Amino acid sequence: MRRPRPVAAGAHLPAITMSSSIFVILAERLVDWHTRHQRDLPWRHAPAGQRDPYRVWISEIMLQQT
C-alpha cells in the first residue's frame, strides 16, 4: 500500500498575480506607512559613516524576538 505524498501548505491555492502598477503602488504605500510609523530606535540615528548594516540588522531581529 502506498503512502500519500505530503503536500506543501498552500499548494492547493491558486496563484495570485498582480500587475506591476499595483505592485509599485502597494510598495510605495508600505514604505510611506513605515516612514510614518517606525519606532524611534537609537541605531537609526548613528552618523552614516558609523552605521554597521550587520549590527543594525541583528538589532532589528533581536527586537522582534522580545
pLDDT at 28: 95
Within-domain flag for 13: no
Per the CB < 8 A criterion, the answer to whether 64 and 52 are in contact is no
Enzyme catalytic residues: 60
Within-domain flag for 10: no
Report the chain's mean pLDDT, rounded to a whole number: 82
Q: Dump the DSSP string for 3-47.
A: PPPP--TTTTSPP----HHHHHHHHHHHHHHHHHH----GGGSS-
Boundaries of domain holding 57: 20-45+52-65
Q: What is the pLDDT of residues 20-50, one digit of tens each?
A: 888 899 999 999 999 999 888 877 777 777 8
Number of domains forming the structure of the chain = 1
Q: H or E segment at 63?
A: helix 53-65
The rounded Cα 41 to chain-centroid distance in angstroms is 18
pTM: 0.45
Q: What is the band of 66 on the pLDDT scale with cuts at 50, 70, 90? A: low
End-to-end CA distance of the chain: 47
Within-domain flag for 27: yes
